[in-house]
């Protein structure tokens, strides 16, 4: 994933880069700042460019803070965020290239701002979902729930919501053994997918999408069965009011 994004950004040595190598890590960071992000003025990048300096990790940490990076304590995750941020800047700076309808979108957004906004009393409606505090909060919750980090904080929050609904609901809390999966894990990634894409990464992604689709179908079938049971409980036991009956004329 690192290499693909760096290749999209035009990093020359994207095929040779090894993020786990300290020098490669630092070179990529300097390149992102010099070519794409440009947070600092040229004269202020001296410490960041000194990749052999023992104090470089502290310089990198300060650099992430200056960029309002919501991640801390994990250099690989921070670099992933930097690369994603650089991709976003690249797309924003070349929006005319990537979207033929960008002008229409700008006009639409401008017109939407003229529509009066309703003031809601619900505190959730007044939250700034793109604020630094909200992003940091979603990161903290995901870390507490041991959910892998994601660059999109809203997707991260959605994953937290699903886990809480399925594993931390009142029924699970009262009887956790009923929801804990037991047994030997099935090697889903080792089975034949039924198709060939001539690319292991694409095949694995296709397997995961197929499993998610099957899970959605199972959930839909479960809900259908629940509806059928509820309807049968009504139609199979009708209540008869004998007072409405008539015998003779």
pLDDT digits (tens, 9 = 90+) for 201-227: 888 888 888 888 888 899 899 999 989
Domain stops at, among 100, 120, 140: 100
pLDDT tens-digit map of 14-27: 888 888 889 889 99
What lies within 8 Å, CB to CB, of 151 at 6+ separation is 80, 81, 84
In a domain, 238, yes or no: no
**Do 167 and 203 share a domain, yes or no?**
no
91 shares a domain with 56: yes
In a domain, 106, yes or no: no
Co-location of 198 and 144 in the same domain: no
**Whether residue 13 is found in the same domain as residue 92:** yes
CA distance 95 to 75: 30
Neighbouring CB atoms inside 10 A of 68's CB total 11
Of 50, 85, 100, which closes a domain?
100
Task: Say if residue 85 is in the same domain as residue 24.
Answer: yes
The answer to the question of residue 119 being in a domain is no
Q: CA 111: distance to chain centroid?
A: 30
> How far is Cα 11 from Cα 118, in angstroms, rounded to an integer?
46
Q: Against a cut of 0.85, is the pTM above it?
A: no
- Residues written for the chain: 249
Residue with tokens 């994990």: 74
Residues of the domain holding 136: 129-180
The mean predicted confidence, pLDDT, of the chain is 79
* Residue 126 pLDDT > 90: no
What pLDDT, on a 0 to 100 scale, did the predictor assign at position 61?
Answer: 92
User: Quick check: is 83 in a domain?
Assistant: yes
Residue 197 belongs to some domain of the structure: yes
User: Which residue, 180, 202, 221, sits at the end of a domain?
Assistant: 180
Give yes or no: residues 95 and 174 share one domain. Answer: no
Q: Does one domain contain both 12 and 94?
A: yes
Taking only the tens place, the pLDDT of each residue in 26-75 is 999 999 999 989 888 988 999 999 999 999 999 999 999 999 888 888 88
| 202-205 contacts at long range (C-beta below 8 A, 24 or more positions apart) | none
Instruction: Identify the residue with better confidence: 216 or 3.
Output: 216
115: pLDDT confidence band, cut at 50, 70 and 90? very low
Rg (CA), the chain: 27
Provide the pLDDT confidence category of residue 134 given band limits of 50, 70 and 90. Answer: confident
146/218 same-domain check: no
Please tell me what DSSP assigns to residue 13: T
Residue 58 has what pLDDT? 93
**Number of folded domains in the chain?**
3
Note the pLDDT of residue 166: 79
Is 245 part of any domain? no
Percentage above 90 pLDDT, the chain: 15
Query: What average pLDDT does range 106-127 have in this prediction?
Result: 56
The verdict on 176 and 222 lying in the same domain is: no
DSSP class of 70: S
Q: Would you say residue 185 lies in a domain?
A: no
Domain presence at residue 41? yes
pLDDT tens-digit series, residues 98-110: 555 555 555 555 5
């Amino acid at each position: 994933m690192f290499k693909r994004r760096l290749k999209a950004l035009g990093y020359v040595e994207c095929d040779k880069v090894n993020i786990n190598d300290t020098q490669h890590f630092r070179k990529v960071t300097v390149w992102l700042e010099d070519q794409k992000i440009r947070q600092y003025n040229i004269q202020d990048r001296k410490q960041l460019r000194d990749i052999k300096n023992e104090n470089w990790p502290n310089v990198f940490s300060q650099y992430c803070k200056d960029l309002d990076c919501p991640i801390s304590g994990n250099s690989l995750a921070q670099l992933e965020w930097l690369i994603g941020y650089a991709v976003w800047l690249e797309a924003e700076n070349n929006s005319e290239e990537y979207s033929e309808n960008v002008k229409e979108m700008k006009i639409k957004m401008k017109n939407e701002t003229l529509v009066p906004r309703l003031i809601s009393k619900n505190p959730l409606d007044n939250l700034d979902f793109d604020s630094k505090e909200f992003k940091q909060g979603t990161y903290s919750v995901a870390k507490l729930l041991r959910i892998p980090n994601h660059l999109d904080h809203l997707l991260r929050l959605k994953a937290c919501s699903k886990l809480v609904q399925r594993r931390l609901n009142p029924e699970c809390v009262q009887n956790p053994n009923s929801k804990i999966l037991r047994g030997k894990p099935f090697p889903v990634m080792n089975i034949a997918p039924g198709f060939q894409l001539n690319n292991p990464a694409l095949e694995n992604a296709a397997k995961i999408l197929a499993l998610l689709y099957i899970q959605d179908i199972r959930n839909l079938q479960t809900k259908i069965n629940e509806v059928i049971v509820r309807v049968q409980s009504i139609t199979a036991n009708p209540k008869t009011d004998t007072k409405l009956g008539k015998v003779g004329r």
